[in-house]
Structure 1
Amino acid sequence: MIQTLLGGLKYTQISLANYQVHDIVDQRHDDGDWHAKPDDYPKLMTKLMMADLIVFATPIYWYGMSGILKNFVDRWSESLATHQHFKEQVAGKQVILLVVGSDNPRMKGRPIVSEFGYICDFLDWQLTATVIAEGHRPQDVTTDQNAMARLNQINQKLIIPGNMK
């Protein structure tokens, strides 16, 4: 899905599976400073803050986003608590959400779309496009003609002068 969506564009792809991001330990109501475990979260947040467009891609796992993505999103509470102007620093980004699953994904993926809608509203991001595709195994999504057509349509809108490979 990502290759079709971003074909012909220059981009940085980040797979959260290649990074270590510890679970959040909610310390918002504790006395003293927030104590974060050393991991790759700060590096990932630096990359996120630099991006104008963010594409989140997730399979549907038990009617929600993948645990690794949820863990990363949960850690944003840490950034809100430890960086005074976090919301202002990340505001204005565009987001595209890609969701894939089997067993009626267009219905069962709706809660993920709603969740990202709320996230985007809170962070002053614009959820510019969502694609929910059907696929059970790797590459199955390529047979979902509706999803592939939508990805190509979005790709054509993203191709602008200066953003080509």
Structure 2
Amino acid sequence: MNILVINGSSRENSNTDSMLAVLLKNLSYCNIALREYKVLPIHDQRHTRKNWETVEDDYSALIQKMVNADIVIFATPIYWYGISGLLKNFIDRWSQSLATNKKFKQDLKRKRIYLLLVGDDKPTIKGMPIIHQFQYICDFLNWNLVDYVIGSGNKPQEVKDDRMAMTKLLQLNQELLLGGSDE
């Protein structure tokens, strides 16, 4: 079981990091903290007659890690009722991969996906559009959205006080330690 974490938080020791620490305790995984990489915005060339320009950044290496993963955990704070810009930028670049790599969708199929969100101001309600967005992404890429956790927190480490989120993270940790869900 090859687990990849794609962390969209822009700060270290964030609530997102706190959630990941609980979920991933005693598990082996590869962590991509997007804040530590250079992923340029997409220059959408789908409807031009030109070949796509080569982009000099870390995207290709990161996407290869995603191809190699069995389980992908997307973790992001809720920023302005959506995912972080770091994560959105990474996902937007998939359009470039779809246009330039005929095997891209095939290479990514059958991933098991977990989604961790954290925010303030009723995140279990206001984070639901993100869950829907990821379900559409999963449907398109033939992925299984296994589960999600939405935590409440604003100040660093505050999510640790969200008992429901922490309990669910511990439950998912146990499931992953036992080999993950095959749903």
**Residue 126 of structure 1 aligns with which residue?**
144
**Residue 80 of structure 1 aligns with which residue?**
98
TM, length-normalised to structure 1? 0.95
How far the C-alpha of 1:138 sits from its partner, in A, is: 1.4
Q: Whole-Å Cα distance in 2 between the matches of residues 148 and 69 of structure 1?
A: 23
Matched, 1:145 2:163: yes
How far the C-alpha of 1:37 sits from its partner, in A, is: 2.0
Task: State the identity %.
Answer: 50
Question: Gaps spanning 5+ residues in structure 1: where?
Answer: none
TM, length-normalised to structure 2? 0.86
Where 2:172 maps in the other structure, the secondary structure is helix
AA at the equivalent of 1:18: E
Q: Whole-Å Cα distance in 2 between the matches of residues 101 and 36 of structure 1?
A: 36
AA at the equivalent of 2:45: Q
Cα deviation 1:60-104 (Å, max 9, x = unaligned)? 100000001000000000000000011111000011000000010
| Pick aligned residue for 2:120 from 94, 102, 108 | 102
Where 1:38 maps in the other structure, the secondary structure is coil
Question: Gaps spanning 5+ residues in structure 2: where?
Answer: 1-18
Cα deviation 1:107-160 (Å, max 9, x = unaligned)? 000011110110011000110010000000111111000000000011111113
**Residue 160 of structure 1 aligns with which residue?**
178
Where 1:127 maps in the other structure, the secondary structure is strand
Matched, 1:39 2:57: yes
Cα deviation 1:4-62 (Å, max 9, x = unaligned)? 11111101111000000000011011113111321000010011111110110011100
- Map 1:9-88 to 2 at 5 A: 9-88=27-106
